[in-house]
Amino acid sequence: MSLRTRTVRVDHDLDAFAIGSRSGLLWHDGDLVLAGVGEAVRLPIERPDGAAAAQAALAALAGDDDVQRPGTGPVAFASLPFDRTAAGELLVPRLVVGHDREGRRWLSITGVGDAASSEAEVAAALAEVAAVGERSVPEGAEPTSLTLQSPLPPEYWRDEVVAPVRDRIRDGELDKTVLARELRLTTNAPIDPAQVLARLRQRYRTALLFAVDGFVGASPEMLVARSGDVVRAHPLAGTAPRGADPAADAREAAELLASTKNRWEHRITIDWLLDTLLPFCSYVDAEPEPTIVTLTNVHHLGTRVEGRLSSPAASVLELVAALHPTPAVGGRPQADALALIEAFEQADRGRYAGPVGWVDGAGNGSFAVGLRSAELNEPTADRDEWVSRFFAGVGVVGDSDPAAELAETRAKFETMLGALVKP
């Protein structure tokens, strides 16, 4: 079966966020919104070494493109497992609606043969995506029963997970590892992802919003973005809770910026990322000092990284394969840190902290780190119950206080708890 993609300009208003939040395929950042409807094909990604083959398969769907910018032509969404050896896939929607900061709107249609060239199909596709954006929210009955559980008791996680790993780091086995804690929300009806995304958008306006195959979230951290030969990243490492009043909040931010422990943890990530990107680039550099990234519930240390890719430019999928997992979600040295996660964490992260984003046929794209996220509505043996799983992680170094790390997970959990549960 031969598939082709046609991209056409759209002159009238289409709410890409509403379409994507209701269809379950969405990318939303400050520059671009992409919404997918339906499914044309799924392309496998063999990891960790199959990025080039996946990019070639996506590029083979090329056809006519009247817009010619990143995010047009064939576009795929992906949410990959944290385990960098686990296979993933690219989901190419049948229809993609795009809207960029300059106000341009477009529609991409992926179909069999020349079907996507039909003007009648374009009109029908526009009507279809408009109807998706107008669906009522929520769809179906809302949950009336909610049970929140922690598979590991918080005190056990503090004393039997964080503390012994911290002690191994003090003994010099490694520099840092990142440990995550899991919560599970059981409901008597599926949670509507459109409502979750609407709450996240309202509360976390600077976050990277995404939805792919039931995995939804509002990540504060850009893993990597590629536009032409420009590559960007915005790693975060180091966290402090928000203060209860403006004065206390300012103190928390200032203490984070001055914290030796947090700045060292952050430097580990920046140095590693620059070293990993350099082989792909003719030039790459980072801001000289981290800055405070303030969210609704926490402060982070963040540093912007930008470079120029060497010719021929690596695709965003190749960059993702090289960069994931960063020390901000795995640790350093990587192999030792991942081994400790496997030994102590006692949870399957699934797609939590994995790469999530989009890629086009030319290799442009953006991938966030899948933080502040949830796997929605996993079925249970009881047909009347659904489970949504979500995680919060902390960077553990030799100076870590297990009680403070537990408190940090509680602050981070507020993001998804506030979005999953109706006020």
CB 15 within 8 A of CB 197: no
User: What are the structure tokens assigned to 373, written together?
Assistant: 């996220």
What DSSP letter does each residue of 196-207 carry, written as one string?
HHHHHHHH-TTS
Cis peptide before 138 (omega within 30 of 0): yes
Of 300, 327, 318, give the one whose Cα is nearest residue 408: 300
CB 82 within 8 A of CB 351: yes
Q: Which residues pair with 284 in a beta bridge?
A: 307
User: What are the structure tokens assigned to 223, written together?
Assistant: 């893993």
How far apart (Å, rounded) are the C-alpha atoms in residues 90 and 321?
A: 14
The residue whose two tokens read 């039931």 is: 214
Q: Is 221 a catalytic residue?
A: yes
Catalytic residue among 182, 221, 252, 265: 221
The residue whose two tokens read 């994507």 is: 20
Backbone angles phi, psi at 170, to 5 degrees: -60, -30
- The radius of gyration computed from the CA coordinates of the chain, to the nearest angstrom, equals 21
Catalytic residue among 176, 182, 252, 345: 176
Inter-CA distances, 144 with 41, 54, 188, 191, 413, Å:
36, 42, 7, 10, 21
CB environment 309-337: b (16+ within 10 A), e (fewer): beeebbbbbbbbbbbbbbbbbbbbbbebb
Q: Which residues pair with 111 in a beta bridge?
A: 4
Inter-CA distances, 317 with 209, 220, 324, Å:
19, 20, 11
Backbone angles phi, psi at 352, to 5 degrees: -55, 130
Task: Return all residues near 369 (Cβ < 8 A) that are at least 6 apart.
Answer: 219, 221, 222, 223, 326, 328, 329, 353, 354, 355, 356
| Residues that are catalytic | 176, 221
